[in-house]
Amino acid sequence: MSANLIHLLIDATLQTLYMVAVSAVLGAVLGLPLGVFLATSRRGELLSAPLVNRVLGLVVNATRSVPFIILVVAIIPFTRMLAGTSIGTTAAIVPLTIAAIPFIARLMENAVREVDAGLIEAARAMGATPFQIIRKVLVPEAMSGILLGLTLAVVSLIGYSAMVGAVGGEGLGDLGIRYGYQRFMPEVMLAVVVILIVMVQLVQSAGEWLARRVDRRAPRDRGH
């Protein structure tokens, strides 16, 4: 493989890391609070607002139901309005973030709902407010599940970032399509696949390690 192709692979990898990192952060900032609200706003729960819960739930489900490649094309006007263009790395962050928000919200909701209801009742009995219960009980107890959920979201975003290469995005997906597929260079396609696999494995391993470290339900192995 030529030095020029190696340089292109490095640039494409950095572009993919940029897209995934920014969209993951934005998705988490918006998706985590949304997930907490969905998990605590049914009738009789801490932030009881059943009507709002149902409406937000429908919006989340509708967004998650749209295949990502169709979502990218459908929101091109919105992407152009926010990013000033519909192609390139920065533009790709818009659909990636929109896809990440409902995905992370549902993962967060599931993690919070797994917290023992007895802990919530005990906190209520001691006079804690709903927001104190969320901040001091629900989130800390669900942290392991939250981290695993965020890990899954980042892994999914890595896959999505490769898809945007088909519709004008940059990164590894774009490089694989332009050189590996259109120019019949299988060594480039192989290199792209290997880099994506390594990225996924690193993210998965780091996420699982962090989840074990903060898991309050499992004893830590103090020998390591």
Determine the 3-state secondary structure of 215 from DSSP.
Answer: coil
* Domain 3-214 bears CATH identifier 1.10.10.10: no
The residue among 200 and 214 whose pLDDT is bigger is: 200
Q: Residue 104: exposed, middle, or buried by beta-carbon count in 10 A (0-12, 13-18, 19+)?
A: buried
Domain boundaries, the chain: 3-214
- Dist. CA 18–CA 9, nearest whole Å: 14
- Dist. CA 162–CA 192, nearest whole Å: 10
Q: What is the pLDDT of residue 163?
A: 87
Q: What is the pLDDT of residue 102?
A: 95
Q: Residue 4: exposed, middle, or buried by beta-carbon count in 10 A (0-12, 13-18, 19+)?
A: exposed
Lowest-pLDDT range, 47-61, 80-94, 140-154?
A: 80-94
The pTM score is 0.88
Share of the chain above pLDDT 70, in %: 96
- Dist. CA 163–CA 149, nearest whole Å: 21
Q: What is the pLDDT of residue 222?
A: 42
- Mutual orientation of helices 89-113 and 139-163 as an angle, nearest 10°? 150
What would the two tokens of residue 104 be? 């992370």
**Size (the chain), residues:** 224
> What pLDDT digit, counting tens, does each position of 13-68 carry?
999 999 999 999 999 999 999 999 999 999 888 888 999 999 999 999 999 999 99
The letter for the amino acid at 100 is A
Lowest-pLDDT range, 9-18, 133-142, 155-164, 169-178?
A: 169-178
> What pLDDT digit, counting tens, does each position of 98-139 carry?
999 999 999 999 999 998 888 888 988 898 888 999 999 999
CA distances (Å), origin 71, targets 2, 58, 82, 91, 155: 36, 17, 16, 13, 19
Q: What is the pLDDT of residue 219?
A: 53
